[in-house]
Amino acid sequence: MTPESSFPAPASPPDGQLKVAIAVPLEAEHVDAIRAVDPGITVLYEPDLLPPERFPADHSGDPDFTRSPAAEARYWELVNSADILYGFPNESPAGFARVVAENPRLCWVHAMAAGAGGAVKASGVSTSELERVAVTTSAGVHALPLAEFAVMGILNGLKRTAELAVDQRAKHWPDLRIPTRLASGSHIVIAGLGEIGLETARLARALGMRVSGTKRHADPIPGIDEVATADRLPELVRTADAVVNTLPGTPFTERLIGRDVFAAMRPGTILVNVGRGTVVDETALLEALDSGTVGYACLDVFAVEPLPADSPLWHHPRVVVSPHTSALSSAENRLIAERFAGNLRKFLDGEQLPHRVDPVHFY
């Protein structure tokens, strides 16, 4: 899917009274920004019905929060009276399935996640219902924090920070000072030149790196040395100093970075994963780490999450484990609300909604 999907814009309500319900925790100032999009819309927002945030952009809110029976009934009355939802009800696939089944007015739900396709698929909502109810994602909002994390991982690998940390804990001052590698002139390969990949490329180029990468269609991209389709990834990584995955989890990307890709890498290649854990074959990755083909891996996502306690990745000396938090930032709520407000303007103007989840392939 391209950011501007080929699906038609969802239909407006027959009575013309457009209602937007805030279904997840959100600060009042961001709700006001949504209200300011157009005086003709009604924004339904009752913060007492929403769980308090434990940290910025805590879309699920405090898990210990409970509603009284009356408040629970009121919450569902609110979301079932809306044409548009900001967030899945209770931020869950089950909540999404319920509102689709109970609310015939509903035509659009904006998800907080960039990769909301998995939650939509898990809801079990039919393809025909997903044609009626558009689901858009927050793809792109997380591009900068993810790109910054990816560059951090590359620099950690180039500058041997894992080894420095071991020496520091041991209070060891080595007799031989081992040189580090320069970012400038290094070659980075990005699997997935979408918004996250292109933002990563922008930051990498600012450090003097050469950038190649993959995309579904291998059309040239300004500033990218070479653009190829995914089947050519083994060829691209042959000269790479670092490989960054930004791809979503789909049947087409599952274990895309596997033994054939690792076999093509040079010794000491850095791997960063900020896409989905299923894209990397973790067994093959461990083999590549143990052989030295992968010199350092910075991983924010995993095939199974939370990462099982018995996974060797937890204690591998050249692996950094991040608990799927690299996209989080204190600005996330504002950025998502701004994205939604822009989409709402498009909706009101009869334009196509960007970043709509494909109702068949779920990405």
Residue 13 lies in a domain: no
Averaged pLDDT, 271-293: 98
Number of domains, the chain: 2
What would the pLDDT profile of 84-97 be if each residue is shown by its tens digit?
A: 999 999 999 999 99
Is 108 inside any structural domain?
Answer: yes
Say yes or no: 232 and 301 in one domain. Answer: yes
- pLDDT value for 6: 44
The whole model's pTM is what?
A: 0.81
137-141, 212-216, 259-263, 286-290: the lowest-pLDDT one: 137-141
Say which CATH number the domain at 294 has. 3.40.50.720
Residue ranges making up the domain that contains 174: 143-321
Same domain, 105 and 210: no
Mean pLDDT along residues 254-277? 98
- Judge if 186 and 211 occupy the same domain: yes
Q: What's the whole-number mean pLDDT along residues 27-37?
A: 98
**In this predicted structure, what is the pLDDT of residue 15?**
60
Q: Is the pLDDT of residue 8 over 80?
A: no
Catalytic choice (98, 160, 210, 276): 276
Q: Would you say residue 12 has pLDDT above 70?
A: no
- State residue 277's pLDDT score: 97
Q: Are residues 244 and 121 in the same domain?
A: no
Consecutive H or E run containing 122: helix 117-123
276 given a catalytic annotation: yes
* pLDDT, tens digit (0-9, with 9 covering 90-100), for 154-180: 999 999 999 999 999 999 999 998 999
Active site residue 305: yes
pLDDT at 27: 97
- Of the candidates 305, 345, 351, 361, the residue annotated as catalytic is 305
